Amino acid sequence: MSTAPATAPARTAAAAVSADLGPTLHITGPRLARQDEILTAEAIAFLTELHHRFGGRRHDRLADRMRRRFEIGNGHDPRFRDDTAHIRDDADWRVAGAGPGLDDRRVEITGPTDPKMTINALNSGASVWLADLEDATSPTWRNIIGGQLTLRDAIRGELTHTSADGRAYRVTAEQTPTIVMRPRGWHLPEKHVEFTDRAGRRLAASASLIDFGLYFFHNARALIDAGRGPYFYIAKIESREEARLWNDVFSFSEEYIGIPHGTIRATVLIETLPAAFEMDEILYELRDHCAGLNAGRWDYIFSIIKNYRGRGARFVLPDRSEVTMTVPFMRAYTELLVKTCHRRGAHAIGGMSAFIPNRRDAAATEHALQKVAADKRREAGDGFDGTWVAHPDLVAVARAEFDAVLGERPHQLHRRRDDVEVTAAQLLDLRIGRPVTEAGVRENVSVAIRYLEAWLRGQGAVAIDGLMEDAATAEISRSQVWQWIHQDRRTQEGSAITVDHVEGLIRDALAQAARYEGDRFDDAAEIFREVTLRPEFPAFLTLPAYSRYLTDND
């Protein structure tokens, strides 16, 4: 089936605009096998149009984020917006809702888009596979283009994989999960693609537009023909204006290739503190394209720390392991999400269970599986329509808990949760009443460095100490350490958490690491120092790590 735009006039008109105004894309990444199947002239023309039309607005939205973060840091707490009260108060509007293949989302498996992980996900028995080009993918050029090729092959039933030891993998499931692809967030550049704008400036392209554009352009029609559709998870959104930008991207893209308006479906991760105050507004802006919201728990915790890192002792969180879904601010956020979604006909999808089963320790695995089951039982009982897991062995555990509540129903949209009332104060109630421990500080340092070392080698989802770590959990680890240092915290055992103290823990982590020739631990430690021990707080650790440390040879 052809992947070119549906009508020649649309393509010709788009090309004429670019010719008149001069914006162009330049591919600067190393040449890879089969890249011409993805980086076609037609696809590059489409990407150019996306950047021409939406690149400037993206920069405006990123500037808004900086202003908002500055305001919160200076004592202006987020609140429900007065200028959008009419949207929240209007009980009549609804979102588009589930597209074909998305009505039942009770178990979603997440993971990167390398061939082996893709095949595992498609054979997992989950309802949905979140094909992740964001936090679970290290954005080497090989991973980005390779991920697009993997998705292309999987959608057409052509994906196979042979491992280094000669084992062959293929998709064997009769019914595979519906694919929902997650592009990288608005804040991330794609340094291997440069965009020359109308002023002649040569800028790094938007990773969001590259990831979305390539996947949509090549696969939208094939997905529709298969009875599903081009579906996306949208990450790191902070406001209705950012949601409106995505909605305009979707509408333009549908028109460009000639498919009906509203064919695209997006599920938005509510994983930033500002977005928690604008759930209704985000749904409203995306209403023609929206399927639901997801409670992105790890990034949400990171966003809390990032925004309140300098606001005093009452905003300091304890050990990462103590910030569970049952603490007050997390309960308020998730209950508001379910209520908001169901009032608007949108699915509410629960958070990640990151546990990785260890077949060599049956007792520990059984204990952890009981905790996973309890977490999913709570979500199903709260009214969520589905949930996330990181490993195929957790699919059955999560499904059992949702089956017990949903029965034959595909979702719980009938549960309006009118009993829930959440205030701004409840969303900002960070009291947990637990200490920071020496073990907690040490764990954060060790996990972040080990994760970063793997990320620099091209692995974005890494099993560490029985949990699947990704960029979001690494962000929690480094931002907590930064905050503990700058808020002059002491551990429960009495140690002052200082730069010198953390330097000692970095040395310990390096000494305990399984070193080998060519490893990236020294670089990982340097990145950790840069994003944790300096006075400045980078908004995302992946920005300096990507621009200066992630090389094309990895």
Instruction: Provide the 3-class DSSP secondary structure of residue 388.
Output: strand
For residue 524, being part of any structural domain is answered with: yes
Q: Check whether residue 381 and residue 527 sit in a common domain.
A: no
Domain co-membership, 110 together with 34:
yes
Count other Cβ atoms within 10 Å, centred on residue 96.
18
Residue 462 CB contacts under 8 Å (≥ 6 apart), including other chains: 450, 451, 454, 455, 468, 469, 470
What's the pLDDT band for 4 if we cut at 50, 70, 90?
very low
Q: Indicate whether 474 and 383 sit together in one domain.
A: no
Interval 211-227 mean pLDDT? 98
Q: What CATH number is attached to the domain comprising 232?
A: 3.20.20.360
Question: What tens digit of pLDDT does each residue of 304-341 get?
Answer: 999 999 999 999 999 999 999 999 999 999 999 999 99
Residue 419 belongs to some domain of the structure: yes
Dist. CA 371–CA 361, nearest whole Å:
16
Q: What is the pLDDT of residue 136?
A: 97
Residue 401 structural domain: 8-425
> Would you tell me the crossing angle of helices 240-257 and 207-225 to the nearest 10 degrees?
50
Q: For residues 104 and 98, what is the distance between their CA atoms, to the nearest angstrom? A: 9
Q: 248 and 191 in one domain? A: yes
User: CA-CA distances (angstroms) from residue 239 to 81, 102, 242, 374, 527?
Assistant: 11, 25, 5, 32, 29
Catalytic residues: 182, 470
Domain co-membership, 388 together with 445: no
Q: Are residues 116 and 145 in the same domain?
A: yes
> Is pLDDT of 540 > 80?
yes
Query: Pairing relation of β-strands 168-170 and 160-162?
Result: antiparallel
Same-domain pairing of 248 and 300: yes
> Is 432 within the bounds of a domain?
no
pLDDT tens, position by position, 168-198:
999 999 999 999 999 999 999 999 999 988 7
* Alpha carbon 157 to chain centroid, angstroms: 26
Number of domains the chain contains = 2
Gap between the Cα atoms of 51 and 209, Å rounded: 7
84 and 119 belong to one structural domain: yes
Give the model's pLDDT for residue 459: 97
Q: Where are the beta strands (DSSP E) in 301-453?
A: 347-353, 386-389
pLDDT tens track for 282-314: 999 999 999 999 999 999 999 999 999 999 999
Last residue of a domain, one of 390, 425, 460: 425
**How far apart are alpha carbons 269 and 208 in whole angstroms?**
15
Element spanning 180, H or E: strand 178-182
Residue 276 and residue 304 in contact, taking contact as beta carbons nearer than 8 Å: no
Rg, C-alpha atoms of the chain:
23
More confident residue, 104 or 551: 104
pLDDT mean across residues, the chain: 94
For the record, the structure tokens of 364 come out as 């520990």
Is the entire prediction scored with pTM above 0.85?
Answer: yes
If you count them, how many residues does the chain have? 554
Q: Which is nearest to 167 in space by CA: 112, 110, 120, 113?
A: 120
User: Where is the domain boundary, 425, 459, 481?
Assistant: 425
Locate 185 and state its tokens.
Answer: 């967030």
46 contacts 217 by C-beta, under 8 angstroms = yes
Predicted pLDDT of residue 8: 33
Question: pLDDT tens-digit profile of 500-519?
Answer: 999 999 999 999 999 999 99
Give the separation between CA 434 and CA 80, rounded to whole angstroms: 29
- CATH code of the domain covering residue 523: 1.20.1220.12
Contact 461, 468 (CB under 8 A): yes
